[in-house]
Amino acid sequence: MLELVVFLLGSLGFVLLSSHALTKPHSHGFPRFFAFEAILGLVVLNTAFWFVEPLSLAQIASWALLLNSAFLAVHAFWVLRQCGKPDKSIQDTSRLTLEKTTHLVTGGPYRFIRHPMYASLMCFTWGVFLKQISLLSGLLVILASLALYTTAIFEERENLRNFGNQYVEYMHRTRRFIPFLF
């Protein structure tokens, strides 16, 4: 019962956060909402298993992914806030204030990958999945991964409109999620 309440409250928060993006299916916030929902479902589903068999290979891999996720998220948020020069006056209601950048950010983790925050969410998602591998958590991790991939594609289209050739050049020298690979 508590899990359902947590899921419903979390979903309400994501609906409020994504309310403008949900009215614009081609904005990156639209698929991101579904990624958030799938990730929330995974967390609620696997919470009871976070410390079960702590020395198993799955748990060790899970903690490595979760720690990587935390580091990458904090670093990416800090760099984006410092270098992106967000402008609250930008009228695009489908983007969060932090996303309303006026400068293309290419430093820190953005030097190697275009979407470190989504990569962080991918690491988090797979880390939570490894806590308790099941058919339902497998479906949720695939849904979250596909939604995050779609989010990145949509955001790249938006960035091409916002930054033009500068973003094209940036795309040629970086990868989407994994440095030097993908």
pLDDT at residue 85, as a whole number? 76
pLDDT at residue 182, as a whole number? 65
What's this model's pTM, rounded to 2 decimal places?
Answer: 0.90
User: Is the confidence at residue 43, as pLDDT, over 70?
Assistant: yes
**Mean pLDDT, residues 64-81 taken together:** 95
User: Is the confidence at residue 82, as pLDDT, over 90?
Assistant: no
Q: How confident is the model at residue 21 (pLDDT cuts 50, 70, 90)?
A: confident
CB of 26 closer than 8 Å to CB of 154: yes
User: Is the confidence at residue 94, as pLDDT, over 80?
Assistant: no
Cα pseudo-dihedral 129, 133, 139, 145, rounded to 10: 30
CB burial string 19-50: b at 16+ within 10 A, e below: eebbeeeebbbbbbbbbbbbbbbbbbbbeebe
